[in-house]
Structure 1
Amino acid sequence: MRIVNILCVCGSGTATSAMLAAKLRDVLEEHGYDCDTDETNPPGIATAVMTRAWDLIAYTSPVEEDYGIPMLNATGFLVGINEDEFIEQLMEAVGKLDLSE
């Protein structure tokens, strides 16, 4: 099974997205998945999607454009609100991915 690639997006592309990335990696590991993440800000998404194939975009700052990649609003998850609901959405999205190598 290949690694799940998630682009994490926050306003600055540094601190909040790094915390989100760590939390996503922990949850996916608990569910038996390996995960690779990177962090960016909303304007940096266009470059990130041109340079690498992403399975999901998880964001805490608004993302205005549709990049053809499933997107999950992770604001509540990051701060501990409705975490179970987000994890359910995350696992549903991951379940739809073709992770064969």
Structure 2
Amino acid sequence: MRPVKILSVCGSGTVSSAMLSSKLADVLEEKGYDLEATEVAPGGVAVAVQSGGYDLIAYTSPVEDIYGIPVLNATGFLVGINEEEFVEELLDVVGKLAL
């Protein structure tokens, strides 16, 4: 089974997106999935999506929903608000992937 490829997006493409990637990895590994994450700022999303073959985008800084892949708002998940709802949505998306 291949890893789930997630593009993590935050304002600068460094700290928050790296923290988000770590939390996503923990959740996915607990459910038996591996994660391949890339962290970018919103300005780098279009180029990353064109070249990366990502399964979904998880963001803490808004991105447009025009990339043809699921886009999940992960702000609450990162700060501990409505985590269960986000995890449910994440696992729903991942469960539909051909891994």
Question: TM-score w.r.t. structure 1 length?
Answer: 0.95
Q: Which amino acid aligns with 2:36?
A: D
**Do 2:9 and 2:61's aligned partners in 1 also have CA atoms closer than 8 Å?**
yes
For structure 2, the residue ranges without an aligned partner over 5 or more in a row are none
Aligned alpha-carbon RMSD (Å): 0.7
Q: How does 1:59-78 map to 2 (within 5 A)?
A: 59-78=59-78
Q: Which amino acid aligns with 1:87?
A: V
**Do 2:4 and 2:33's aligned partners in 1 also have CA atoms closer than 8 Å?**
yes
The answer to whether residue 19 in structure 2 is matched with residue 14 in structure 1 is: no
d(CA) in 1 for partners of 2:82 and 2:50? Answer: 32
* Percent of residue pairs identical: 67
Q: CA deviation at 1:61?
A: 0.5
Q: Which deviates more from structure 2 when the two are superposed, residues 65-74 or residues 30-39?
A: 65-74
Q: How does 1:1-101 map to 2 (within 5 A)?
A: 1-99=1-99
- After superposition, the C-alpha distances for 1:5-59 in whole angstroms (9 at most, x for unaligned) are 0000001100000000000001000000011101001110011012210001000
d(CA) in 1 for partners of 2:65 and 2:6? Answer: 17
Q: Which runs of 4+ in 1 moved over 4 A?
A: none
Q: CA deviation at 1:64?
A: 2.3
For structure 1, the residue ranges without an aligned partner over 5 or more in a row are none
**Do 2:65 and 2:71's aligned partners in 1 also have CA atoms closer than 8 Å?**
no
